[in-house]
Structure 1
Amino acid sequence: MDHQTVLQGMQQLSHLDRDVKEAFTELGMPEVRVRPSGFETFLFTIISQQLSTKAATTIMGRALGLMEETTPDQFMKIPAQSLRDAGLSFRKIEYTQGLAEAVLDGTFNIDGLENFSDEDAIKEIIKLRGLGRWSAEIYLMFSLGRMDVFPADDLGLLVGLQLMKGLDSRPTPKQAREMVKHWTPWRSIGALFLWHYYHHHISTLN
């Protein structure tokens, strides 16, 4: 998901949706987001749940400092108490160790996700405890570069859609998916822009 791809997507969405066109003219390009694919990103995804970005980054840094390199094998060698001391909860230790074990025993093939369709890749990811559909969709968007994913359970997207469409109430995830069906095959870019729109309007309210 590079700058040129996002620009192309925004241009296409502007043809498909008048509200997007008006908002794009007002706000310009959303920030391009890219995350590396692989074990480290899944590890951070679990660690960061229900934490601020700052707190999650601090804890992740401590965890990384306990390994010579960030691999499932190295992670499994870390004593549980060391992970607790780094800031992981007992539940997150369970989930992260489960992730590492699944990679090591071959039941979760991270590299193989590239060969799956969007929905099949999501199904593979959410088989793991601690990783839900939202986490899977974010991974597809920013680590695998899939262009037609819409994480409709995201509160920021729902509020952004409400604001951009001038709705009286926030749409449900199901309603949101219906509302952006015509954005296919650029729903990932549309989601990126809705976050951009949401943060702009929330900051003006504050």
Structure 2
Amino acid sequence: MLQTFSSSNFHQICDQLAALDNDLSAIIKAHGYPPMWTRPNTFETLVHIILEQQVSLASALSALNKLRKKTIDLIPENILSLNDEELRACYVSRQKAVYIRALALALANRTLDLESFEKMADDEIRARLTALKGIGNWTTDIYLMFVLQRSDIFPIGDLAAVNALKRAKTLPKDITREALMEITVKWKPNRTVATMILWHYYLSSPLRTKLSRKFI
């Protein structure tokens, strides 16, 4: 059975996590419930997530808006019609242009079907997405969390989530990824919502200088 969450149970899950974890409870008491971040299951959404790799969210949104204006309809066929110069004018780096074209081609050729992911297990979705050039675990995690509302994802490659976790629990800077993942086990099967609480903390506290996400 697929583990998901929705607007109807999001606050209830937040309360359950707060009851389990005093640090998450303190965040909610100080800053309120986090937003339930969602995005539609579209090519444009995946392009947006790719653009967010290793840059600020503002920079990624600026590039996305340029692409929207250039293509009118941001669909695979319209992206494939753009040359390198046109993509660069939309603030898309050469590397990310390769990634976005690979995704567009897979969708245009129907070797990838986003609709079918809605009934597919997380691991299978991850295998199919990470087979594409430029899509790694971080991009897949964000897709699973924001688009499909899969409930048990902790994006270990996300610096904002990791830094918020370290600060919330006063953890050493050099703590290992394995040790961090062990801490998140307590939140199963709701690690996605726990992560949204941590992002909310990151955005609401002095910890935030600017929100940059980096996949590892």
User: Per residue, is there more helix in 1 or in 2?
Assistant: 1
Query: Match for residue 40 of structure 1?
Result: 44
Question: Please, what TM-score do these two structures have when normalized by structure 1?
Answer: 0.89
RMSD across aligned C-alpha pairs, in angstroms? 2.2
Following the alignment from structure 2 to structure 1, what is the Cα–Cα distance between the partners of residues 44 and 208?
35
- Would you say 1:116 and 2:120 are equivalent positions? yes
Aligned-partner residue type, residue 153 of structure 2: V
Contact 2:154 2:195 in 1 (8 A): yes
Moved more, 9-18 or 143-152: 9-18
Q: CA deviation at 1:76?
A: 1.1
Q: CA deviation at 1:198?
A: 2.6
Following the alignment from structure 2 to structure 1, what is the Cα–Cα distance between the partners of residues 127 and 116?
13
Q: CA deviation at 1:2?
A: 4.9
Question: Counterparts of 1:57-206 in structure 2 under 5 Å?
Answer: 57-169=61-173, 171-203=175-207
Question: Please, what TM-score do these two structures have when normalized by structure 2?
Answer: 0.85
Q: CA deviation at 1:4?
A: 3.9
Query: Match for residue 52 of structure 1?
Result: 56
Question: How many residues end up aligned between the 2 structures?
Answer: 206
Moved more, 36-45 or 47-56: 47-56
Give unpaired runs (5+ residues) of structure 2.
211-216
Following the alignment from structure 1 to structure 2, what is the Cα–Cα distance between the partners of residues 51 and 159?
16
Give unpaired runs (5+ residues) of structure 1.
none
Q: CA deviation at 1:68?
A: 3.9
Following the alignment from structure 1 to structure 2, what is the Cα–Cα distance between the partners of residues 37 and 64?
17
Structure 1 segments, 4+ long, off by >6 Å, are none
Percent of pairs identical after alignment? 29
Moved more, 162-171 or 196-205: 196-205
Aligned-partner residue type, residue 191 of structure 1: T
Contact 2:49 2:142 in 1 (8 A): no
Q: CA deviation at 1:85?
A: 2.2
Contact 1:158 1:171 in 2 (8 A): no
Following the alignment from structure 1 to structure 2, what is the Cα–Cα distance between the partners of residues 91 and 161?
31
